Amino acid sequence: MAPLAIPGPPRGLSFQLGQEYIRILWPPPETNLDGSTPPRIAGYNVYRTEDPRSLPPAPLNKQPLRATEFEDREFQFDKTYYYLVSVVGSVESPYAESLPSAPLAVPAQDTFPPEPPGDLHAVAEGGIVILFWTAPPQRDVAGYRIYRREPDVSEWASLDTELVTTLSYRDEKPGAGKKYEYRVTAVDTHGNESQPATVPVELQ
């Protein structure tokens, strides 16, 4: 039986990195290896490895992919992954799959700040301010930073050297008879800091 004429592996792989995914994209081959058209493509397989010299025994996808992209949601930050894509020319007998593409290196670095804390509000009484807020939805929030300033001052002063790990903060130092602004930011385990939530406070 003559071997099936199928395309070679895709070229020009690229990636998009998000907080929850690594998306691998590639252009489809235009011809079979013998130059004939249309290219015989039953699907694609995507492989991932941490060692570009070693191909894993099975692809990430359970069935050949029809689309020319794949989202990997089972990864960890602070690692470099290598992705390879092959063309499945036939899923019937005889099964035909191309060699894998050149590996695409993807350094998975978390540069994504969390969302700001939600529903920030303050209770002021007797020269003491207590702040309350709700947690953002991201699972990697390590804690919160609290800032304070007087309205006519441009610089914000950080109120703690350590991250606050609760959803409230008690400030006993501002003093009565003043106006302040407070802001709270969320910080994740990689040190990415969110945009602030801000609330004004007037002490009696």
Fold category of 14-108 in CATH: Immunoglobulin-like (2.60.40)
CATH class belonging to 118-202: mainly beta
What pLDDT does 92 receive?
A: 86
The closest of 108, 86, 116, 107 to 20, measured between CA atoms, is 108
Q: Which two three-digit tokens encode residue 22?
A: 């690594």
Which residues fall within 8 angstroms of residue 203, CB to CB, at 6 or more apart?
124, 127, 129, 174, 175, 176, 177, 178, 179, 180
Backbone angles phi, psi at 153, to 5 degrees: -110, 135
Range(s) of the chain covered by CATH 2.60.40.10: 14-108, 118-202
Distance CA 81, CA 73 (A): 13
Averaged pLDDT, groups of 10, the chain, 204 residues long: 82 96 98 94 97 93 97 97 97 91 97 97 90 96 96 90 96 80 97 97 84
Q: Would you call 71 exposed, middle or buried from its count of C-beta atoms within 10 A (0-12, 13-18, 19+)?
A: middle
Say if residues 114 and 192 touch (Cβ distance below 8 Å).
yes
- Prediction pTM value: 0.84
What pLDDT does 94 receive?
A: 84
